[in-house]
Structure 1
Amino acid sequence: MLARLVCLLVLSCTVFAAAVRAEQARSPYAPVTDDPALPRILIIGDSISIGYTLGVRDLLKGKANVHRPPTNCGPTTRGLEQLDAWLGTGNWDVIHFNWGLHDLKHCDDEGVLVAVGEGHQQVPVDQYSKNLEQLVLRLQRTGAVLIWRNTTPVPEGAKGRVPADVPLFNQAALAIMQKHGIPTQDMYSSVLPRMEQLMLPKDVHYNENGYQQLAKTVAAIIEEQLAGRE
């Protein structure tokens, strides 16, 4: 009887460990083993991009190696500090990137999200523009095709962010992208009329269907840019 219990315990532990490994392998942060015959894609962005990374990876399976930094890329200030590490030493064919939601959010002196009026905007739009300009110049040095994904809508009632700030930041970013000839994926306009269907209530994040829809649009524009290189 005791031997049977031990066997069951060992089997349970083995199954659990296998499930954990499978879950880790499905993480957006999981390392990607490149197929050298396929182009290399890098997705840079905050939690919105984390939410669609796996979907993009699935949709481009057999077509591209889809990577992302193993972190939330946060505001432009974090980008300036860590972009070189995220880019690494390899070559990239396409880089799909965004900063914005963490720049326009309101936080306290510790960087913690707070209600509007209780703190300060993490990166005001003028400084955001300057930071983004520097980031674009660094990204251009990679020689990759660049795709800017603009900042997604903020629903009414979402803590620490003002919905009307998003178009201001997107307009600032658009001016930079037009200056450098970088295409913009206008995810803001795509999501705006479907916020109730795609997003969580009073939250900048998305439901499962929402992330699936975002992934489809990201995969499509990456494929379009890859086709343009052929």
Structure 2
Amino acid sequence: MNRRSFVKYLGATSIFIGATSCASINFFGNNYDEETSREAWKKLADKGEAFKYVNPNKKLPNILLYGDSISIGYTPTVRQGLVNKANVFRIYSNGQSSDRFIPKMKKLKETMFQPYLKGGWDFNWDVIHFNVGLHDLKYLKDGKLDIENGKQVSSIAVYKSNLDTICKYLQTEFPKAKLIFATTTAVPEEGADGRISRDSITYNTAALEVLANYPSIQINDLYAFTKPNAKDWHIKPHNVHYNTLGKKAQGKQVTKIITENL
């Protein structure tokens, strides 16, 4: 049995356990205050539909989406697909490069969760769907995208080291959560501002090398899912972002993978 089949089997066999234990694990204490939490989120989060406040239903499992602008695009579709099935949160801003992951996760915890926020959230994550890579492979000069004169944000070695640290952090901090890593979606064949097409393959290969050491972390291969439709789904040439059709298709795929792991 290959890794993908094994992880899929493992996720399926855990559905009944997760369903019976979810209500007892993820509960809100009597100190939870919606107004306090909503105000804290308003000050923390970026604007836009993907960042709207989610008032948790204590009877439902809690999902966290962590990723860059690609994940921002598919977040609303995931929420719609999991209505009455899960509380779907996302990181409060663009997740950006791999070195930002742990600081952003800590800021989320210290801003929104009890005991740091009196009246704040009081629950555990059931599923964390995460991605880093698209901001690691870009070239910058003076904060602007620039392939010719810029420097890549993270070398392959740094990216692998950061991702390894992220995996260790997630397994230590959230030992009961199902972890799902999404591969980085493709840079267009003709390239994009500040990015080279082949790098999405190179960085995904590096990511899978790291994740081979963490067999319990499932892979959502969004690269393979999206690539065949890239010409129809990219918003325009030389742009890594996706149109409405692409965002919805990616969101449905993410919803499918998460549902298999609830």
Q: How far is the alpha carbon of 1:169 from its aligned partner?
A: 0.7
SS across alignment from 1:54? helix
- 1:185 alignment counterpart: 220
User: Among residues 217, 231, 253, which one is paired with 1:196 in the alignment?
Assistant: 231
Distance 2:168 2:160 in 1: 12
Distance 1:138 1:69 in 2: 16
Distance 1:26 1:33 in 2: 16
1:130 has 2:161 as partner = yes
- 1:175 alignment counterpart: 209
User: Among residues 92, 95, 105, which one is paired with 2:125 in the alignment?
Assistant: 92
Runs of 4+ in 1 over 4 A off after TM superposition: none
Distance 1:129 1:25, change over 3 A: closer
Could you tell me the TM-score, scaled by structure 2's length?
0.74
Distance 2:47 2:149 in 1: 40
Q: How far is the alpha carbon of 1:25 from its aligned partner?
A: 9.6
Q: How far is the alpha carbon of 1:26 from its aligned partner?
A: 6.8
1:218 has 2:251 as partner = no
**Deviation string for 1:133-159 (max 9, x for gaps)?**
111111112121000000000001311
Count, aligned residues? 201
What amino acid is the match of 2:158? Answer: Q
SS across alignment from 1:102? coil
What amino acid is the match of 1:94? Answer: V
What amino acid is the match of 2:139? Answer: H
Which one has a bigger Cα radius of gyration?
1
Distance 1:32 1:43 in 2: 13
Counterpart mapping for 1:1-230 below 5 A = 27-87=49-109, 89=113, 90-108=123-141, 110-114=142-146, 116-141=147-172, 142-143=174-175, 144-155=177-188, 156-181=190-215, 182-200=217-235, 201-226=237-262
Distance 2:145 2:103 in 1: 20
Distance 1:162 1:66, change over 3 A: same
**Deviation string for 1:25-56 (max 9, x for gaps)?**
97111110011010000000000000000110
Uncovered stretches (5+) of structure 2, i.e. residues with no partner: 1-45, 114-122
- Aligned-CA RMSD value: 1.6
> Does the 8 A contact of 1:30 with 1:70 survive in 2?
no
What amino acid is the match of 1:176? Answer: V
Deviates more, 1:193-202 or 1:127-136: 193-202
What amino acid is the match of 2:221? Answer: D
Q: How far is the alpha carbon of 1:189 from its aligned partner?
A: 1.0
SS across alignment from 1:101? coil
**Deviation string for 1:132-191 (max 9, x for gaps)?**
111111111212100000000000131110110111111111122221111111111111
Distance 1:183 1:31, change over 3 A: same
Q: Which has the higher contact order (CA 8 A, sep 6+)?
A: 2
> Does the 8 A contact of 1:44 with 1:69 survive in 2?
yes
Could you tell me the TM-score, scaled by structure 1's length?
0.83
Q: How far is the alpha carbon of 1:82 from its aligned partner?
A: 2.1
**Deviation string for 1:64-119 (max 9, x for gaps)?**
000011200100111133222235544100000000000000001x33222x1211
> Does the 8 A contact of 1:97 with 1:149 survive in 2?
yes
